[in-house]
Amino acid sequence: MSPVTVLEWIVALAIVYVGLPELLGHYLGVGAVRAVKTERQELALTFDDGPGPLTPQILDLLALAEAKATFFMVGRQAERYPDLVRQVQAGGHEVANHSETHAGLWWTGPVATLRQFEQAAAVLASNTHLRPHHLRPPWGQFNLSLWPAASRLEHRVVLWTVNAFDWRQKDTVQAIAGRIAQARPGAIVLLHDAGGDGRQRTVEALKLALPQLRSRGIGLVTVEQLIAHGIPTVPLRMRIWDLWESLYDRLYHVDAMSEDSIFRLQRGVLKDPIDLADGTQLKAGTVYGEIHLKNTALSQMGAIRGLRALRHSLTLLADRLAVEPRWQDIEVFLGTTILGRPAVGLGFTVSPVAEDLGGWWAKTYRNWLMLIYHPQGAHRAGSPEKMQLVFISMSRRVLLERYGHPGEGGGAGDDR
């Protein structure tokens, strides 16, 4: 291998391991919390790099202001000041993970990255009897292995909305206090209670900023509370899937139905006959309506709300079927889903997906859905009995009987 190729390899590796993760994670906030959407008048102060000698002063100020905060602690500091870890927890604050030695992740390999947060989590847990739920990489630096490490430790990656720059020597106490006091609801504010000189300025800035926040009516809570009180956001992978669904709908003339329906409907004509599990055969040329789900909407509901929404959508479908001229020739509703069991309860006939139809595509599609909407269950995607992709069908007659409103003119379908 020539020296140039070695260099190229190093550059490529650096881009993949550090460059892209830094861009996505640090700058775009992918797989990280940088702020929380909330309707409450509250925000979260966070203190990094401690605990240290100034931590008690900060705890006193917070107690005086009836404020809670989150302390992203360095494992090594926690080993040095175990009493302070306990004192932070006793004050009702959140203890979070800021790595074992404050290692910059640009220079840390995959195994060491995991170990950094694993060790710190163990040290913190030994003092608080609670495993931390959040981590913040030192300097906000990302590498490719941070996300899997966080997921393995069941930590959320937390960055910040407002950098108070309390570490910057040239900044005055007033400037730092101003940044804290002007933070908006839902913000996560980055401060430091140890590491480096001049932390006394953080204390002085808090003395100015805490009363100002209070007079604005802003409550100070932990990151955990801020997220719990926040409006749940749709994860990026789901937003991408939504985009794909709407593109699909446009390309294949799928009707998105009304806002409160979680079905989308696509009219089609069968090319090949299909044998259903109940013995009926759908002949080639049968006009069908294929039901697609609005997966993101459904995934945001619990099981009970989801089932109610499915039932409601069937009612909406029956109503619309009675009046929609373009759907008058639809004889049967079809779909493929991994939700076989609820489908039976809703009146669908469930048939196994034919091998030739299923095969690679069906398996891939099912695995994608699992990965996007149920990542914890992704490893289960391989066990076919639990998450089998099935073929569901319901005739026009059954739909109108079960979900139609008699007297509103079940219409053309009734005698089919």
Residues serving a catalytic function are 48, 192
Structure tokens at 185: 């609801």
**Distance from C-alpha of 197 to C-alpha of 193, rounded to nearest angstrom:** 10
Residue nearest to Zn ion (CB): 48
Which residue's entry shows tokens 């699909």?
248
Upper half-sphere CA count for residue 27 (Cβ side, 13 Å): 7
d(CA 99, CA 73): 7
Helix (H) or strand (E) holding 179: helix 173-181
Residue type for position 7:
L
Residue 66 parent element (H or E): none
The number of helix segments (H) and strand segments (E) in the chain equals 16, 15
- Please report how close the Cβ of residue 74 comes to Zn ion at its closest, in angstroms: 7
Residue 104 or 359 with smaller CB distance to Zn ion: 104
The whole-angstrom separation of Cα 50 and Cα 67 is 18
Nearest-approach distance from CB 156 to Zn ion, in angstroms = 17
- What contacts 107, CB < 8 A, 6 or more positions away? none
Q: Which residues pair with 287 in a beta bridge?
A: 269
Q: State which residue, 188 or 381, has the beta carbon closest to Zn ion.
A: 188
Contact 266, 292 (CB under 8 A): yes
- Give whichever of 120 and 332 is closer to Zn ion, judged by the CB atom: 120
Which tokens belong to 7?
């260099």
CB of 190 to Zn ion, least distance (A): 9
Q: Which residue, 197 or 385, is less far from Zn ion as judged by CB?
A: 197
What is the per-residue DSSP string for 306-373? HHHHHHHHHHHHHHHHHH-GGGTT--EEEEEES-HHHHHHTT-EEEEPPTTTSHHHHHHHHHHHHHHH
The partner residues of 70 in beta bridges, in order of sequence, read 46, 94
Nearer to Zn ion, 103 or 370 (CB): 103
Cβ nearer to Zn ion, comparing 76 with 397: 76
Shortest distance, position 54 Cβ to Zn ion, whole Å? 15
* Cα(293)–Cα(295) distance, integer angstroms: 5
Name the residue nearer to Zn ion (CB basis): 138 or 335.
138
Binding-site ranges for Zn ion (CB under 5 A): 48-49, 138
- Are 176 and 200 within 8 A, CB to CB? no
> Least distance (Å) from Zn ion to the CB of residue 86?
21
Q: How many CB atoms lie within 10 A of CB 87?
A: 16
Q: If you search the block for the tokens 């899997």, which residue do you land on?
A: 148
Least distance to Zn ion from the beta carbon of 103, Å?
10
Shortest separation between residue 196's beta carbon and Zn ion, angstroms: 9
Closer CB to Zn ion, residue 49 or residue 255? Answer: 49
Query: Closest separation between CB of residue 288 and Zn ion, Å?
Result: 59
- To the nearest 10°, report the CA torsion of 77, 129, 189, 58: -60
- Contacts of residue 352, Cβ cutoff 8 Å, sequence gap at least 6: 277, 388, 390, 391
